Structure 1
Amino acid sequence: MSKIKGAIVVDTNRCKGCALCIEACPKDVIALTAKRVNVNGYPYAAAERPDDCIGCASCAVVCPDGCIEVYKKKMEE
């Protein structure tokens, strides 16, 4: 049986910290950085629990700035 594993890559310098991706994620994978900011001074989205990502791409769909890329990989169990 195979399982779908996902991964996100955030363009941190383009992220404005709107948090729409956090609300859209069904697995609570994403959070805003607490103590780091990007070159524009915004806290940015990051995968805080990357092992829980299922690659659904909800985060990428709602991102108004197109900062998130989603990758899927089929894992054999």
Structure 2
Amino acid sequence: MAKGKNVKHIINKSWCKGCGICVHFCPKQVLELNSDEKAVAVRPEDCIACKLCELRCPDLAIQILVEEE
């Protein structure tokens, strides 16, 4: 993650269908599917805020917020 930035993952569990596209495209393996087959950010501290998950999600279930510290 870029120095001085705080990244927040907002995942709408009711919209997520568990397709795994976000997991596949994440370059830092931040996202995984949980036992309910829903996306979760298991390593948010590794996120580089590339927003590939947000851009590739077919259900618009993921939003990445980047805040300057």
| Same structural fold, with TM-score higher than 0.5 when normalized by the shorter chain | yes
Question: In 1, Cα distance between the equivalents of 2:64 and 2:45?
Answer: 14
Q: Deviations over 1:41-65 (max 9, x none)?
A: xx10000111111211100000000
In structure 2, runs of 5+ residues without a counterpart are none
Matched, 1:52 2:53: no
Please report the RMSD computed on the Cα atoms of aligned residues, expressed in angstroms.
1.5
Post-superposition, which runs of at least 4 consecutive aligned residues in structure 1 deviate over 3 A?
none
Question: In 2, Cα distance between the equivalents of 1:56 and 1:73?
Answer: 14
Question: In 1, Cα distance between the equivalents of 2:49 and 2:8?
Answer: 6
In structure 1, runs of 5+ residues without a counterpart are 38-42
Question: In 1, Cα distance between the equivalents of 2:26 and 2:52?
Answer: 6
Report if the CA contact (8 A) 1:21-1:30 is conserved: yes
The residue aligned with 2:24 is 23
Work out the percentage of aligned pairs sharing the same amino acid.
36
Aligned length: 67
Higher Cα Rg, which structure: 1
**Match of 1:54, SS?**
coil
The residue aligned with 1:32 is 33
